[in-house]
Amino acid sequence: MHKRKEEEKASVQYSLFFIQRFKGKVLFNVPMAEYTSLKIGGPADVMAFPQDEGDLKDIVAFAESKGFPFYILGGGTNLLVRDGGIRGIIINMSEGFKEVLWQEEGKAVAGAGIKLSELLAQCRDRGLSGLEFAAGIPGTLGGAVTMNAGAYGAEMKDIVEGVEVIGKKGQKTFIPANEIGFAYRRTELPKGSIVIRAHMGFKKAEPEEIKERIKDFRERRKTTSAVTIPNAGSIFKNPEGNYAGRLIEEAGLKGERAGDAEVSEVHANYIVNKGHARAKDVLSLMALIRDKVYSRTGIVLEPEIKVVGED
Ligand SMILES: Cc1cc2nc3c(=O)[nH]c(=O)nc-3n(C[C@H](O)[C@H](O)[C@H](O)COP(=O)(O)OP(=O)(O)OC[C@H]3O[C@@H](n4cnc5c(N)ncnc54)[C@H](O)[C@@H]3O)c2cc1C
């Protein structure tokens, strides 16, 4: 009873703040399954969609003053949210921060909320090369920079020259590429940093040549793009000199199931949601995969997806 009163109070506090100051949309008790490509995840207390820097600074300051945790969401395409959901505020970057400022000599400053596919289309139309590897990678630019998304030997690190971030105390800073800590599918941005814009450099190329390269990258993704059931892309990182998918397949785990979660029959490093899979199903499949691969090969698979929230 007491707990419920506390929750109601917190909810009223959230509401008052957002109604008075916030320009973007604010939702309460939001099923995260609707905001992740795996279609899995319990409710988030609050989801706010900042429209601009003012909104973003306001939420961060509000969260800081109340001691509420916050979590940044892009397209939710690299995310497993646990079944108990997320306490605190989800800052959904996918509706604001979409502008792209094109500068001289193939430089661009783009908002974190723009879809990677949209940015790629703009690059292609302008005859700017460098992002072709992203053909077929879903999600936002902010998520791609934060994850150092990549494919077939190319990655965001190759084009990003720096990022504008809002820090956890609401302060805005520019972090140059050499301080972002780019590594294989991760970065080392200071904890709580919200990427709001990325500064990038592209090379001039003939649009036809760029189209060809995009086609080539799409061709290489033929197997994974045949996975049409909800998923979050590769579940595990490729270990040095090997492929997680190959190791999982060799362990005989294709088609292995836990509830409605299944190791994809098409690509073994994908787990698909065949209907009503829960996060606990995905997590138990992940544990099984790690155990089996380790006992066969001595290789420890590291998750590529981010796992967040409460059980
Ligand atoms: C079918 C499919 C294919 C895929 N193929 C690839 C691939 O080839 N290569 C690859 O690298 N990935 C791939 N992925 C994974 C995923 O698409 C990428 O990691 C993508 O860049 C994540 O972007 P997002 O906006 O969805 O991020 P989210 O999943 O929303 O977030 C990912 C992480 O980034 C953080 N984050 C997001 N936005 C921001 C921001 N603005 N500021 C600070 N932190 C932020 C989140 O807090 C979270 O920790 C694939 C996924 C799917 C579903």
Does residue 106 sit in the same domain as residue 86? no
Give the confidence band of 66 by pLDDT, cuts at 50, 70, 90. confident
Instruction: Tell me if the pTM is above 0.85.
Output: yes
Separation of 21 CA from ligand 1 center, angstroms? 29
Residues 186 and 247 in one domain: no
Which pLDDT band holds residue 22 (cuts at 50, 70, 90)?
confident
| CATH number of the domain within which 202 lies | 3.30.465.10
16 and 127 share a domain?
Answer: no
Domain boundary among 175, 194, 220: 220
DSSP string of 147-184, one letter each residue? HT-EETTEEGGGTEEEEEEE-TTS-EEEEEGGGS--BT
Residue 304 annotated among the catalytic residues of the structure? yes
CATH code, domain with 263: 3.90.78.10
Locus of tokens 């294709």: 254
Taking only the tens place, the pLDDT of each residue in 86-95 is 999 999 999 9
Number of domains in the chain: 3
Residue whose CB lies within 8 A of the most ligand 1 atoms, among 71, 86, 147, 197, for a mutation test:
147
| Percent of the chain residues topping a pLDDT of 90 | 84
Do 167 and 108 reside in the same domain of the chain? Answer: yes
Same domain, 263 and 299: yes
Show the domain range for 259. Answer: 228-308
**Quick one: 151 and 210 in the same domain?**
yes
Question: In this structure, are 137 and 210 located in the same domain?
Answer: yes
DSSP assigned state of 91: E
Claim to verify: residue 108 and residue 176 sit in the same structural domain? yes
Q: With a 6 A CB cut-off, is 151 part of the ligand 1 pocket?
A: yes
Q: Which of 36-45, 56-65, 140-149, 187-196 has the lowest mean pLDDT?
A: 56-65
Residue that is last in its domain, among 62, 92, 122: 92
Q: Is the Cα torsion angle 176, 178, 179, 181 positive or negative in sign? A: positive
Phi/psi zone of residue 112: left (φ > 0), alpha (ψ -120 to 50 degrees), beta?
alpha
Q: Is the CB of 76 under 6 A from ligand 1?
A: yes
